[in-house]
Structure 1
Amino acid sequence: MARPARKGPPDLARRIKSAPPAPARPASRGLPSREQLIAFIAEQGGKVGKREIARAFHISGADRVELKRALHELQEAGVVDRRGKKLGRAGHLPSVVLADVTGRDDDGELIAQPAEWDEDEHGAAPRILVIVPSRGRQPGLTPGVGDRILVRAEPTEDPEPGDPSHQGRVIKILSKQSARVLGVFRALPDGSGRLVPVTKREAGKELTIPADATDGARDGDLIAADIVKQGRYGLPSARVREKLGSITSEKAVSLIAIHAHAIPHVFSRDALAEAEAATAATLKGREDWRTLPLVTIDPVDAKDHDDAVHAEPDLAPDNLGGHVVTVAIADVASYVRPGSALDREALDRGNSVYFPDRVVPMLPERISNDLCSLKEAENRPALAVRMVFSKDGRKLRHSFHRVMMKSAAKLAYAQAQAAIDGAPDDATGPLLEPVLKPLWDAYAALKTARDARGPLDLDLPERKLVLKPDGSVDRVIVPTRLDAHRLIEEFMIQANVAAAETLEAKRTPLVYRVHDAPSIEKLEALRELLATLDLEIAKSGNLRPAHFNRILERVAGSDNASLVNEVVLRTQAQAEYASENYGHFGLNLRRYAHFTSPIRRYADLIVHRALIRALDLGADGLPDGATPQSLGEIGARISAAERRAMAAERETVDRLIAHFLADQVGASFSGRIAGVTRSGLFVKLDDTGADGFVPIGSLGKDYFVHDEGARSLTGSATGESFRLGDQVRVKLVEAAPVAGALRFEMLSDGRQEKPVGRGKRGLRRASAAAGASKSRGRSPTSRAAGPKKPGKGKGRRS
């Protein structure tokens, strides 16, 4: 989703000019000047690191230390950005960009901005002048305002002030979206109606629809409308363009998100025809593994099973106490061929989308729930990896195989865990000794290695909505996190690593799952907050997840545990798909690729095809024309699709919870402050996890000052302070179910005991609290603002 532009981003020349001068270095060392370094990094388009720079400028020995220091200074000054081990010009765009057309310039040329851009880390999003190839200047292929496009971007040479910093040649138009408003139609007695918007941002901003513009819409219909008149006074007028369904239906809430985010949810005729025509795979070209007792372990309500596991002791004399772990994954590549209708549909969707009340699958059910699902006691094609681990969990070797398998059992997480814990049932009893215990023994070894590796270990419980038959919320639960979940998750991670290692060794292009280290700006904000809690994190050096884990361990079980886990999460970059590898920071892995869920993630299908090609396992592998550049384009598309799915899933949960709480207006709830802004506080309720907003104007008559570093609002007269992570009690005063918005009133005062750090902010807050009076007041200004998968345990988006 494109971020709004903000003023004040310095261009490159201003960054260089404003950067602090570097200390003079001896010319005899032959180090490049700052200008030479910046120019070289910019020319390479973000594809060089310290090693490549040292090679280009013939830097060796002790000079490498000076080079590292010089690059660190440029990064601190904001002149260059780091992406994993690679450096690029600050604000630099990759060569292939997913962008949204946002408007036109004074000459009528289209202007776009990157669809994914972190303003907090890189400043305002760069503007891109859209260049349409001559072949594209025909109806239906020329982009317009509101369209999402894929462009090949390059910096503009010597742009004039105010001109776009980049130009982008259109590769493909991904979606054409004319301006529209999505909402619920409310009929009025005179035949006209009102449109109630479905987004939090537009909550309360109704539109009027004349009687002759309703297109037969009925009360409660979800509609798309065009704004036809917007004067200075009165409500804007709109015309119904499309009726999308009834808000009273069981799956209406997810329907809103599907249309609001333009998620493809109806398969094309060609894709469905291909799926129905598909026939079961045969043994030809496959190893016969049907006697190996692989089992699937999934949520109890899972409809597709894309992975199966097996483990046994390694009997090799040189690996006593070791384990052989096998992970078999549904062979989707044998049914979904490159360039087919099914393939085009899967790429367009990018991934399956999991709502509480439905799933929008990436592939038709004939493929996902039937031919590719690893059903119990049925022959199924799979791509399997056999991994050998030492007794301390180190992977010694691995190999990939294209096989035919037959699942020995379909197990649920709780069912498998119960068997291990001493309560087997009829299904797990016979499997306990030969299948389940070897799995848990292997996991114990892998856990030892995982603990030594030290991935980021956040403690953030995931809530699950339990729905009634009518699609409304029955209750909200926090499922217990079992070793069965952790076992499958760790086995999948190891399989993903093996896939990336194999493809790198074979020099075959692939789509990596990458996760960058936190930006300097976010780390500084985190340090500032931790200082108020008498906690600190390393200021420099090679920051690793272990540094965060030590902080998390210190606060475990304390009142600040929830706060610290939340802010550490917010400090992290967002994982994405890319053809360039810069590692996975959160998992603390040098190379990582998604391989284990091709039924529901297109990235995994790409990796399967790459393995088939690299290991000569069939004719349905990655096409010869696949290059890092073309896979980079795919990575950009599916990363955007993933973000789209996450937003749609989150908004659907918000709407369902708002419906659930709508009849409890006036009730009080306990919760924690989950966000602090100049406009007010976001509060997350303890029982349901629902998010609501407390406007600053409702806090009292005092003037509340926003301290961004301490994440707090503090009354200037009373010293009352509301801070991120505080436990509070609020009253629900308004619920907007259609928009998923809740508004609260604060019942707690800001004088409860809070941990006060020894830093300057902590002392200021303590001083203010000591002089606080009992009077409460109202802020002189009141600004309106709105509040901010279920899947498989192994399906967390790492």
Structure 2
Amino acid sequence: MTQKKPTHHTQADPHAEREAEKYEKPVPSREYLLQLLEQQPGPVSWETVADALDIQDEDRREGVRRRLIAMSRDGQIASNRSGDFGVLDKMSLVRGRVIGHRDGFGFVSPRDGGDDLYLSHRQMKKVFDGDEVLVRETPGGFRGKREAAVVRVIKHNTRELAGRLFRENGICFVRPDNPRINLDIMVAADKTAGASHGQYVVVGIVTQPSRTSLPQGEVTEVLGDHLAPGMEIDVAIRNYGIPHTWLAGLQSEVDAIADEVREEDKVHRVDLRQLPLVTIDGEDARDFDDAVFCEVLKDDSWKLLVAIADVSHYVRPGSALDEEAHSRGNSVYFPDFVVPMLPEKLSNGLCSLNPDVDRLCMVCEMRIDVDGRILDYRFFEGVMRSHARLTYSQVGQMIEERGKRSSGLRKQFAALTPHLDNLHDLYKALRGARDRRGAIDFETTETRIIFDESRKIERIVPVQRNDAHKLIEECMLAANVCAAELMELSELPMLYRVHDTPKEEKLSNLREYLGELGLRLPGGAEPQPKDFQALLESVEGRPDAHIIQMMLLRSMNQAVYQPENRGHFGLDYRAYAHFTSPIRRYPDLLLHRALRWLVRNGSANERMVAKKVHVEPGAKALPRERILPYDMPAMIQLGEHCSMTERRADDATRDVVSWLKCEYLQDHVGEVYRGVISAVTGFGLFVELEDLYVEGLVHVTALPKDYYRFEQAHQRLIGERSGARYHLGDLVTVQVARVDLEERKVDFAFGELLSKTKKKPNKPDKPNKIRRLVRALWKWPWSTSESAKGEVETPPEKPRKERKERPAPGPGARKSRGRRRPSGNAKSAPPKRNR
């Protein structure tokens, strides 16, 4: 090493005291060793590191060696064949997470950001989707992406998965249902748990994949037969590793909690039981974590109370309940089924604001002026009693009938309608402020799957949003903004909901797409939320408005949880956090703990913070280590974990909805639907069905007979002979031709072009000599069988043969999933607000 040796490493190591508390003979902290290695031009031996730190004691030198090996094992640093250690970037290594592709190749998403690296089919034989790896960039590339080779797997994240068991020629193997995993799992004949051929099973991975061998496992659970009711949820839960059984020891904690709120828990709280707070949720909601009340003040401003179930009172840090909630991260809402973050005794009982029972709550009280500006706010602990459990449909109807002769609902809830009318007036003010601010308002259409008694899909219907939905959404947004601002004032380490500005590459792709439609995104190089909103408003009413909105959504970054506040781009908030759903989101529970600590220790806080909280006389202060034992490094890890569990839930839910919609269409093969062309490729058109929001492929051979040329820049297919043009966003009719449930694919036969999107005028084509020759050849009484890239000639039509289910190919011979996009790209959101 070239750096000057410190006389004692404890003088330079900022974490020396921490290490001294842990070990009798302390060694340098990981942070300090990493800092030292970063200063070196290349890898160095462990002896060199120990010498540089002037460590002579043999036990401590051995401690340095073991710590460096552990850091290498955990991917913080890397070691070479000589046993030297170095930081990753100076050894040309990248740490990241594997993302599998249904076609067998994959990518590595770098941990520290940057573009993904391509992994070939050969490299993907060594890993599963989701594994954490060290890779080294290699010569070559794939569609403009850098290519990499796997150097080492840091962590295997696939311990079990779901799939179908097949028996062939005395060999047993499980074919994973997860399309991102293209490796079959070999299973010994005596390790199948009695599963029959074709049944869905859960297989535990015994031996991970390698370059020379397939992974091996044993069946740990038999889920049941193919297409059994509810199988799609059982499979998704296992595929995505969603915790669904409660920890041992948790039930004893739950049993120790009283069935009703104890009297001693109600003291030292603001008593709101006489205030007509109400919950407003969907018809099928079972947990109610927010209640609202609004009244007009003398200066014509509004006082808004948002009361949220006080989950933090029952779920304490370090408890089994807390460990389970942390592991789950959030509730997962499947169609007609929920995997809750908390046990039912809390989620549907003590922490659910059910009507006519006492409940503990954390309250955000706001004063809002006629322009929708929050003038002041404060947080406090309360005890409340919901005066009604209302639904969006009920409140929406009462809003519509306001000023008319009293209807049945307005008569039934006569005592509450003045407060509901106040809420609606406040909503209009908040909505006006939002419009002036320029926040993006994506009007995504959700679908609801209706089952019959045997859980067979009866129908799929769009969910209509009314003013009641939007009213509650605005109230929750206001409370979340106040909570984020208070966290900033307090300077406590806490998770913000961060939505970064769109990346330049995504903006460039979006502008290219919009240009072909004759549209423009204003705002120059750095468009603001108001520019996106202006574009959304300009396409309202177009048949392709939904597709344009989806393209805008794809240009956005995914919102994440992190302790560094970087604002929320989409909502155009300087600071934003999640406060309103602690029953179903762990970040909200963390925020409640911080709020309770601030409330209970209000007098000890800075004056600005103390003004924003209220504590009742006699309430005891809470030690921070008891309720908020988190530092910044811990909060960073919590943010990464909660962001991961949110993505996990979204992916699992999307997969289940895709399965169910494919299953639904299996019973509707031959039927004709309207849809919009959602993507154009050289091999055909992807069409998304109206109302159902299921995507399928019209292969180029299913289009009217012609010789088609794909123009990627214009996102269209053009028939050379007929001049027919099929463009992104065109409205068409299609017939359901085939459904492959295992692959989640739908094939359509083309019907007719109903209407074309408005596009910018294109200059007349100037065909070159080759194109003129091709056109001339079409006039001759023969056809060519040759095709160029992006150009396909459809063969003469012939009767379709009935497709029969083929037997599964042998282990390892995965059938190609083809250049296909998954069908059923449904927008399925949780039943509550999750901005």
Q: Please indicate the TM-score interval, normalised by the length of the shorter structure.
A: 0.7 to 0.9
Count residues in correspondence.
662
- Output the CA distance in 2 between the equivalents of 1:437 and 1:408: 16
Provide the residue aligned with 2:622 in structure 1: 619
Provide the residue aligned with 2:640 in structure 1: 636
Provide the residue aligned with 2:162 in structure 1: 182
* Corresponding residue to 1:303 among 286, 293, 296: 286
For the pair 1:503 / 2:484, whether they are aligned, the reply is: no
- State which drifts further: 335-344 or 322-331: 335-344
Provide the residue aligned with 2:821 in structure 1: 787
For the pair 1:758 / 2:761, whether they are aligned, the reply is: yes
Q: Cα–Cα, structure 1 residues 228 and 603, in superposed 2: closer, same or farther, change >3 Å?
A: closer
Q: Cα–Cα, structure 1 residues 213 and 731, in superposed 2: closer, same or farther, change >3 Å?
A: farther
Provide the residue aligned with 2:673 in structure 1: 669
Structure whose alpha-carbon radius of gyration is higher: 2
One-letter amino acid of the structure 2 residue matched with residue 297 of structure 1: I
Provide the residue aligned with 2:399 in structure 1: 420
CA deviation after TM superposition for structure 1 residue 360, in Å:
0.5
Provide the residue aligned with 1:742 in structure 2: 746
Provide the residue aligned with 1:732 in structure 2: 736
CA deviation after TM superposition for structure 1 residue 492, in Å:
0.2
Provide the residue aligned with 2:378 in structure 1: 399
Alignment of 1:235-314 (within 5 A): 240-247=218-225, 249-279=228-258, 280=261, 282-314=265-297
One-letter amino acid of the structure 2 residue matched with residue 218 of structure 1: S
Q: Is the 8 A contact 1:298 1:792 kept in 2?
A: no
Q: Is the 8 A contact 2:269 2:382 kept in 1?
A: yes
One-letter amino acid of the structure 2 residue matched with residue 177 of structure 1: T
Q: Cα–Cα, structure 1 residues 371 and 207, in superposed 2: closer, same or farther, change >3 Å?
A: closer
- State which drifts further: 432-441 or 493-502: 432-441
Provide the residue aligned with 1:445 in structure 2: 429
- State which drifts further: 420-429 or 386-395: 420-429
TM-score normalized by structure 2? 0.70
Alignment of 1:194-233 (within 5 A): 195=174, 197-200=176-179, 214-218=192-196, 221-225=199-203
Deviation by residue 1:387-427 (Cα, 9 ceiling, x = unmatched): 00111211100000111111111111111222233334388
Q: Cα–Cα, structure 1 residues 166 and 510, in superposed 2: closer, same or farther, change >3 Å?
A: farther
Alignment of 1:393-792 (within 5 A): 393-422=372-401, 423-425=407-409, 428-538=412-522, 540=524, 542-616=526-600, 619=622, 623=627, 625-696=629-700, 698-699=702-703, 704-715=708-719, 719-748=723-752, 753-758=756-761, 784-788=818-822
Q: Is the 8 A contact 1:700 1:776 kept in 2?
A: no
TM-score normalized by structure 1? 0.73
- Output the CA distance in 2 between the equivalents of 1:395 and 1:340: 37
Q: Is the 8 A contact 2:270 2:382 kept in 1?
A: yes
> Which secondary structure state, in structure 2, belongs to the residue aligned with residue 392 of structure 1?
coil
* Corresponding residue to 2:344 among 362, 365, 385: 365
- State which drifts further: 337-346 or 584-593: 337-346
Q: Cα–Cα, structure 1 residues 149 and 501, in superposed 2: closer, same or farther, change >3 Å?
A: farther
CA deviation after TM superposition for structure 1 residue 252, in Å:
1.4
Provide the residue aligned with 1:124 in structure 2: 116
Q: Is the 8 A contact 1:329 1:383 kept in 2?
A: yes
Q: Cα–Cα, structure 1 residues 339 and 164, in superposed 2: closer, same or farther, change >3 Å?
A: farther
Q: Is the 8 A contact 2:161 2:238 kept in 1?
A: no
- Output the CA distance in 2 between the equivalents of 1:272 and 1:554: 55
- Output the CA distance in 2 between the equivalents of 1:793 and 1:450: 23
Deviation by residue 1:137-178 (Cα, 9 ceiling, x = unmatched): xxxxxxx96596899x9x99xxxxx999999999xx7x8424
Q: Is the 8 A contact 1:597 1:604 kept in 2?
A: yes
- Output the CA distance in 1 between the equivalents of 2:562 and 2:198: 43
- State which drifts further: 286-295 or 218-227: 218-227
- Output the CA distance in 2 between the equivalents of 1:602 and 1:424: 40
> Which secondary structure state, in structure 2, belongs to the residue aligned with residue 543 of structure 1?
coil
Deviation by residue 1:633-680 (Cα, 9 ceiling, x = unmatched): 111111011111101000100111111111333333321122334554
- Output the CA distance in 2 between the equivalents of 1:272 and 1:584: 39
Deviation by residue 1:607-644 (Cα, 9 ceiling, x = unmatched): 11111223336538675542233211111111011111
CA deviation after TM superposition for structure 1 residue 525, in Å:
1.4
For the pair 1:382 / 2:361, whether they are aligned, the reply is: yes
One-letter amino acid of the structure 2 residue matched with residue 644 of structure 1: R
Q: Cα–Cα, structure 1 residues 111 and 357, in superposed 2: closer, same or farther, change >3 Å?
A: farther
> Which secondary structure state, in structure 2, belongs to the residue aligned with residue 478 of structure 1?
strand
Q: Is the 8 A contact 1:100 1:147 kept in 2?
A: no
Q: Is the 8 A contact 2:680 2:717 kept in 1?
A: yes
Q: Cα–Cα, structure 1 residues 262 and 792, in superposed 2: closer, same or farther, change >3 Å?
A: closer
Q: Is the 8 A contact 1:671 1:686 kept in 2?
A: yes
Name stretches of at least 5 consecutive residues in structure 1 with no aligned partner.
Answer: 1-42, 44-95, 128-143, 157-161
CA deviation after TM superposition for structure 1 residue 587, in Å:
0.6
Q: Is the 8 A contact 1:608 1:621 kept in 2?
A: no
- State which drifts further: 536-545 or 777-786: 777-786
Deviation by residue 1:119-138 (Cα, 9 ceiling, x = unmatched): 9x9422599xxxxxxxxxxx
> Which secondary structure state, in structure 1, belongs to the residue aligned with residue 382 of structure 2?
strand
One-letter amino acid of the structure 2 residue matched with residue 298 of structure 1: D
- Output the CA distance in 2 between the equivalents of 1:413 and 1:482: 7
- Output the CA distance in 1 between the equivalents of 2:180 and 2:152: 30
- Output the CA distance in 2 between the equivalents of 1:716 and 1:404: 73
> Which secondary structure state, in structure 1, belongs to the residue aligned with residue 266 of structure 2?
coil
Name stretches of at least 5 consecutive residues in structure 2 with no aligned partner.
Answer: 1-34, 36-70, 86-92, 100-107, 120-125, 138-145, 402-406, 602-620, 793-816
> Which secondary structure state, in structure 1, belongs to the residue aligned with residue 291 of structure 2?
strand
Q: Is the 8 A contact 1:710 1:761 kept in 2?
A: no
> Which secondary structure state, in structure 1, belongs to the residue aligned with residue 463 of structure 2?
coil
Q: Is the 8 A contact 2:683 2:700 kept in 1?
A: yes
Q: Cα–Cα, structure 1 residues 239 and 595, in superposed 2: closer, same or farther, change >3 Å?
A: closer
CA deviation after TM superposition for structure 1 residue 693, in Å:
2.8
Q: Is the 8 A contact 2:98 2:128 kept in 1?
A: no
Q: Is the 8 A contact 1:701 1:780 kept in 2?
A: no
One-letter amino acid of the structure 2 residue matched with residue 448 of structure 1: G
Considering only aligned residues, what root-mean-square deviation do their CA atoms show, in Å? 4.5
CA deviation after TM superposition for structure 1 residue 786, in Å:
3.4
CA deviation after TM superposition for structure 1 residue 723, in Å:
2.7
Q: Cα–Cα, structure 1 residues 467 and 777, in superposed 2: closer, same or farther, change >3 Å?
A: farther
Deviation by residue 1:37-76 (Cα, 9 ceiling, x = unmatched): xxxxxx9xxxxxxxxxxxxxxxxxxxxxxxxxxxxxxxxx
Provide the residue aligned with 1:7 in structure 2: none
- Output the CA distance in 2 between the equivalents of 1:168 and 1:625: 35
